Structure 1
Amino acid sequence: MQGPAVFMEISLEDQAQELRKYFKSLGAEISEEKSPKGIEDDLHKIVGVCDVCFKDGNEADIEAILNSIVSIMVSIPLERGENLILAFSQRLTKAPGPKLGIIALQSLWRLYNNLEANSPLRYHVYYHVIELASRVSCVTEVFSGVEQLRKEFTASPPSNEQMQKLYRLLHSVLKDNNSELAAKVMIELLGTYTDENASYAREDAIKCIVTALADPNTYLLDPLLSLKPVRFLEGELIHDLLTIFVSEKLTSYQAFYQNHKEFVHSQGLNHEQNVKKMRILSFMQMAERNPEITFDEIISELQIQDDDVEAFIIEVLKTKLVRARMDQAARTVRVSSTMHRTFERAQWQQLKTVLLAWRANVQSAHEAMKSVTAAQLELNAPPAKA
């Protein structure tokens, strides 16, 4: 079997011919001769058989070949660039096995980063990057969050429909391994809908709610209620369930579950995990109203066994949603601060009061410092001449 050529100081046409010879040696249906129609046709033929290189047993050779194709693609102006790049990307996403998949992903990522920042093709390549990265379990190496994603397409923003398609893909590949990031992606997706088309986002809205409820690290769910597609679900069971997690107690969830067991399980939600989360949320609500909570109140309100109270409090403190100290001897929990489950008018008023007090304290300190400075200047001033 002929090894891959090393392309140094040769023309694009000669590089293409060497690639033709290499693929021919692997049994691809391609001529070794240059195309009389020029480099674009050469590249079209090469892309059509490029996945044959996965039969080569040498991973270093495969990587060199794929990178050579990328170098030609980004070195010439392509009138038919979209079709070629899409065909190349689609073939790479089918690379067999994890090792070859990673090699293909590296080449596809190199292609993406070498396209002009304002090229609309970057979106299409990025979409295939995510598809391939998902197959080889490397999604978080190319996608770190929605803020980073926005920056990727600053120069050439995709259409709203394209971004919705990408967000759905990201959610589907993240939901099983990174539920927190998947939830953020889904919230971003729902934010792309307007009043005019929010009613068409029903499936996305349900997925968003379910992902957030199932995520063991997501407790503050109030922002979901303001999303337009979620508001269109009012009156449905999924919206009722979300409302319970936003503002109600454990007993409300248990009553809902008793009446709608099949519905909860049909959404892929785990009842035991739901109870665990509702206990923590209910404790937060107790902490908002009372800075000192007895073990007996926790046992009664949260339906926890006496022996499990201390372990439960430790779990709550791990979330960092509540700051508190546990007094085992007195069987009490002394709360110093807690996150609010909902942020409504009362919380805004409380925040305003705190900020006004802070501003008054700053002004008082400023005036005190001015007095100290004036006194110090007067003390250091030379004595007046007689």
Structure 2
Amino acid sequence: MTEVRYLIFIEQVLITVTDVEGAFNLLLVIILGSAQGQLSTAVQTLVDTLTKTESNKTGLKQKILLNLYNALPGNSPLRYHAFVGLVEVTAQADELDSLYDQLEYIDAWSTKWGLDQSTQRELYSYLFEVLTKAGEDKLAFNFLLKKLTTFAENDKESTVLAKDIVLRAVSMENYYAFEDLLQYKAIQNLKGTEEYELLDVFLNGTLASYQSFASSHSNLIQHSENNIHKMRLLSLASLGSENLSRELKYADIANSLQIPEEEVEMWVIDVIRAGLVEAKLDQLNKTVIVHRSIYRVFGPEQWKKLSTTLSTWKENLNEILTVVGNAKLIAGGALQGGAASAIIVEGDAKVTN
């Protein structure tokens, strides 16, 4: 495909972007008219040349790749190459955020393109890498999870990936959905490993249990200070879920988080900002009232607590309904008595009830 490289070269010479785009559109016609055996090579060569050639004309490259993508049949596996090329040139220009909304369709597209599992994994791995470089750790992490679902339960590679996912989840800033990881069979199969033990600490443990684990697994722990910060927030959320609508003393929070009492307000504000709890500070009485809190794990014990809470609410509502019903009866009787008195006063005659 020397024609492709030649066109990339002359794009420096052609007068306008429209001229260049027109030249490439003619090339697309030639490529799409290629024999079936040559079409894949031609498309890949065009994509590689556009992504690997230095140029500041990002918009032009995007148009050419988008034209290629749209010109290919909707179910063509070659659309995969055009899409990856489009992502690559967009990332090179630091404009990846313009494609974020499109990423939610990746699963549907990969199915429509007829990608095999190996190519699907390549796609998820590529998107993970490019999004990580762009600083979109959470979005990138989702594609690691997608990749994990492409493996069989006992695949050795899935075990390695599952361990990596646990470590990334622990060290990732603002990631708290550890219970969600347990829906993946490959992560469930990690039971008995150090990585699963670490995950369990973040699911059910306290700051003290994390510190104990970290001290004996220094080879496994990364970003320890960040992990301690996360464990303090999770511990505070757990404390809140155990004491909903009850007053929490600053001293109790300080003891649980192993911090000075004067830092409690800062940590309460941080846990609210993280979206883990909704709470109100009472600075005068040095108490915190938690109105809502996440549950780090929602298992049988939490269901039991929820059942107890709902039963209490039901009893309270029944009592309120009884009080309201009695109030209506009393009010109705008072109105009848009042009406009779009015007739007596105004009519100064007999009253029949």
Q: TM-score range by the shorter chain?
A: 0.7 to 0.9
C-alpha RMSD of matched pairs (Å) = 3.0
Identify the residue that residue 325 of structure 1 maps to in structure 2.
Answer: 280
Q: Counterparts of 2:179 and 2:257 in 1: how far apart (Å)?
A: 21
- Consecutive unaligned residues of structure 2, counting only runs of 5 or more, are 322-353
Identify the residue that residue 201 of structure 2 maps to in structure 1.
Answer: 244
Q: How does 1:1-386 map to 2 (within 5 A)?
A: 44-53=1-10, 55-56=12-13, 60=17, 61-74=19-32, 76=33, 78-79=35-36, 80-97=38-55, 99-144=56-101, 147-176=104-133, 177-197=135-155, 199-264=156-221, 269-291=222-244, 292-348=247-303
Change (3 A) 1:54 1:243: farther
Contact 2:238 2:294 in 1 (8 A): no
TM-superposed CA distance for 1:297, in Å, is: 1.0
Count of residue pairs the alignment pairs up: 312
TM-score, normalised to structure 2, is: 0.78
Identify the residue that residue 344 of structure 2 maps to in structure 1.
Answer: none
Q: Counterparts of 2:13 and 2:196 in 1: how far apart (Å)?
A: 54
Residue-by-residue CA offset, 1:215-266 (whole Å, 9 max, x unaligned): 22211211213322223433333322222112211111112222233432xx
AA aligned opposite 2:131: L
Contact 2:191 2:197 in 1 (8 A): yes
TM-superposed CA distance for 1:110, in Å, is: 2.7
Contact 1:54 1:100 in 2 (8 A): no
TM-superposed CA distance for 1:170, in Å, is: 0.9
Answer with 1 or 2: which has the greater Rg: 2
Between the two proteins, what is the percent identity of the paired residues? 27
Change (3 A) 1:312 1:293: same
Which aligned segments of 4 or more residues in structure 1 are displaced greater than 6 angstroms? 352-361
Q: Counterparts of 1:86 and 1:285 in 2: how far apart (Å)?
A: 53
Change (3 A) 1:310 1:286: same
**Higher share of residues assigned helix:** 2
TM-superposed CA distance for 1:185, in Å, is: 1.4
Contact 1:146 1:184 in 2 (8 A): no
Change (3 A) 1:72 1:217: farther
Residue-by-residue CA offset, 1:338-375 (whole Å, 9 max, x unaligned): 111112233345567788999999xxx9xxxxxxxxxx
AA aligned opposite 1:184: N
Provide the secondary structure at the position in 1 that maps to 2:220. helix
Residue-by-residue CA offset, 1:164-208 (whole Å, 9 max, x unaligned): 1111111111124111101111111112222253x3223322332
Q: Counterparts of 1:136 and 1:247 in 2: how far apart (Å)?
A: 43
AA aligned opposite 1:305: P
TM-superposed CA distance for 1:277, in Å, is: 0.8
Provide the secondary structure at the position in 2 that maps to 1:116. coil
AA aligned opposite 2:274: T
Change (3 A) 1:250 1:196: closer
Contact 1:174 1:182 in 2 (8 A): yes
Change (3 A) 1:129 1:333: same
Change (3 A) 1:125 1:353: farther
- Consecutive unaligned residues of structure 1, counting only runs of 5 or more, are 1-43, 366-386
Identify the residue that residue 378 of structure 1 maps to in structure 2.
Answer: none
TM-superposed CA distance for 1:320, in Å, is: 1.9
Q: Counterparts of 1:317 and 1:358 in 2: how far apart (Å)?
A: 26
Change (3 A) 1:103 1:207: farther
Q: Counterparts of 1:49 and 1:310 in 2: how far apart (Å)?
A: 65
Provide the secondary structure at the position in 2 that maps to 1:85. helix
